[in-house]
Amino acid sequence: MEFGERARQNERKEGVRGVEQVLLPPFGEQRKLTEELILSHESAILEDFAGFRRLADQRLVKNPEISTGGYEHPYPIGRCREINDYVFDSLASNINNPTLYGVRAIRKFMHAGGLVRKVYVIQNQRYFQNAIQIGTALLDVANDTFDRTKPAISFSETPEEGGYEMIRSVEQFAQMAEVYWGDRAYPNIYLPALAPRYPVLLRRSLSLKNPRQQFDRDGLFLDGAALALFNMNRLQITTDGWLFKLTRQFLFDSSYAGRRLPAEAYKALLDSPQLKALGKFSNNELFVSDDAERAREYLDANYFKDETVFASLPKRLSNIASVQKLFQGRPLVMFPSRAKDNEQE
């Protein structure tokens, strides 16, 4: 989501609000406005956002789904998205508050044409981070969600100064998912109908061991974190006219292209009652296969740049989003943790 009239026009056109955007480059009009209207107010901005962050902590820690549910570590570790969203919403609801001097500076910046947006980035090549970009400055309001010893909020005049970088490829996203989340990434040749939006399948440990219970399973997940990457992906076209260039690069030409799911995981996909039902509902368009060439043929048949593809694209993307909502936060399938990959050369 962005603030400003141009941003509102873009949001109306796309029909999307509150979605992370790509980083603004550290030059041009936004750089000039940032230097003139934002940098001299850094202290006031940090003070106001520290207040928003304190309020976020007070509210979010009382929410059991955020404070404890499904998280390996205590709050705030791992809650960067929840904290960033809450603080961003607090800015939006207080944008006309005359008592907040940092917010007043941001409002003046916006009126001059400055953009304020949520971004999803990589920091220090170690982890994903949600942040707020104000022109070409970057405000990290969840700076302590990886390392509790760090300040809760940090301000960088440019993303580069703070070690932040944009996610530029699906392969880079997959590599960071393995480093930061401890997942294992696979090319989604298995559900090609979902691959334009979800080119990566993530294998994640669900193991739970205690004296009373032993549950030794892995889950296979669709991950919807990198919305900005998807927005970039759907706008990129190969030189020979195929849409979703980043998806195709990852599935067929990346270092992950030969990685294959364990046989147990593939069988679980084939046997899934939910996926079978969705396949029938979609007139068998949502099929399961381990054949990379069949995945390529599906993408070739449905995503070549011509008049018909743009007419059908909104419905296809809506169908993909509907499937993701069914599995949001839950694995597509589960299978034994001991299962080994079937590598392809």
Residue 214: the pLDDT is 54
Average pLDDT, the chain: 86
Give the residue from 242, 262, 266 showing the smallest Cα distance to 253: 242
Residue 23: the pLDDT is 81
Is the pLDDT at 15 greater than 60? The verdict is no
pLDDT digits (tens, 9 = 90+) for 292-320: 999 999 999 999 888 788 888 888 888 88
Domain-by-domain residue ranges, the chain?
5-166, 170-336
Is the pLDDT at 70 greater than 70? The verdict is no
Q: What whole-number distance in Å separates Cα of residue 312 and Cα of residue 301?
A: 12
pLDDT digits (tens, 9 = 90+) for 252-269: 999 999 999 999 999 999
Is the pLDDT at 175 greater than 80? The verdict is yes
Is the pLDDT at 344 greater than 70? The verdict is no
Residue 306: the pLDDT is 81
Is the pLDDT at 216 greater than 90? The verdict is no
Residue 284: the pLDDT is 73
Q: What whole-number distance in Å separates Cα of residue 143 and Cα of residue 160?
A: 15
Residue 6: the pLDDT is 38
